[in-house]
Amino acid sequence: QVQLVESGGGLVQAGGSLRLSCAASGRTASTYAMGWFRQAPGKEREFVAAITWSGGRLYYADSVKGRFTISRDNAKNTVYLQMNSLKPEDTAVYYCAAAHGPRVVYSYSGSYSDWGQGTQVTVSS
């Protein structure tokens, strides 16, 4: 299994920026892709962005395209989510997750086996 620890959440005003980090440890050699998901109170968990660990292919939800950027630092076993032009509707607990194997649906939470504890992002209006 892979252990994941998110950091970087906090309170920010609408239009501001925030950068989330997710440090991975454990059996990281088997990780094929890393994803970011978010869940607001009373809402289902939704896909935000994903990146393949080796190839760096990127995937984004339509709601964050042009505002969020996912990236990785393989040497540090860390993935990042740069969030710009934040909106109140971005308020949620953000989770990073690891998927194993090439046959994954990047926007489907069930494709990810290991999850972090989450970090709260609050955007005020």
Residues 38-73: tens digit of each pLDDT: 999 999 999 999 999 888 899 999 999 999 999 999
Residues 6 and 118: beta-carbon distance below 8 Å: yes
Residues 89-110: tens digit of each pLDDT: 999 999 999 999 878 899 999 9
Which DSSP helix (H) or strand (E) runs through 12?
strand 10-13
